[in-house]
Structure 1
């Protein structure tokens, strides 16, 4: 077995790498706060909690999947809840991206602070989203894909 293959496949290395990216995102947001005021930190919090509505509504709607309604014309209550979570996610993301731009045009943030806030917030949200994908994998994905096509 190749040592580089085992290094890339190790889940602990993936978690450590994501943690480093998350810390870089928070560092950029804090550095943006040094250039102006504390508004970039609020924006970092918005990016950090932006994925929560989608995660919560996905968990709630998965428990509502057993409604036995086979009529395709009527929509399931779980779909409505999941769409509300996606709407709130989109609202928080758009707010997170455009709040620094609005603060820059209002002369509250400098251009450097605006750029640092947007890049740091993007790193924060990307890491939170990747963490949620990593821990949301089903147990079935670890099974072997070989269905017996080998030697008989």
Structure 2
């Protein structure tokens, strides 16, 4: 059972992740790394939309549907893009290597916090 301490720790790690992403742009006066924040906002949207579009029939459950798999694929693509975008910017000399490292570490902390939050606070369905 997850408690208040888990919420506090996860929110602290999430704040550190966002701080690293913001500092990666502010310290080096190049705000291209803030485009990564857009992927944090957009990434869960395909999963949410495709999950709502899935047929919710309790009697005829045939496993996963293709619309749910499409949503997971698009979410995975956006998550990988959030990590790879700073690397592409650094390769093209648009940002510095230090900004790339800070942005990638911050992004991984943010994604890890979101995954940990869903693992700790996932409610089990009882039949």
Deviations 1:54-79 (A, max 9, x none): 24433543xx2317558x7xxx7x61
Q: 1:87 offset after TM fit, Å? A: 0.9
1:65 aligns with 2:51: no
2-structure distance, mates of 1:66, 1:38: 47
- Higher gyration radius (CA): 1
1:51 aligns with 2:74: no
Matches within 5 A, 1:2-151: 11-34=3-26, 35-61=28-54, 64-66=55-57, 68-69=59-60, 79-138=65-124, 140=126
Equivalent residues, number: 125
Question: Normalising to structure 2: TM-score of the pair?
Answer: 0.82
After TM superposition, where is structure 1 displaced by more than 4 Å over at least 4 residues in a row? 67-70
2-structure distance, mates of 1:10, 1:40: 33
Question: Structure 1 pair 82/10, CA: closer, same or farther in 2 (3 Å)?
Answer: closer
Question: Normalising to structure 1: TM-score of the pair?
Answer: 0.70
Q: Secondary structure of the equivalent of 2:95?
A: coil
1-structure distance, mates of 2:92, 2:50: 35
Q: 1:12 offset after TM fit, Å? A: 0.8
Q: 1:22 offset after TM fit, Å? A: 0.2
Question: Structure 1 pair 10/101, CA: closer, same or farther in 2 (3 Å)?
Answer: closer
Q: Give the RMSD, CA atoms, in angstroms.
A: 2.5
Q: Secondary structure of the equivalent of 2:123?
A: coil
Structure 2: gaps (5+ residues): none
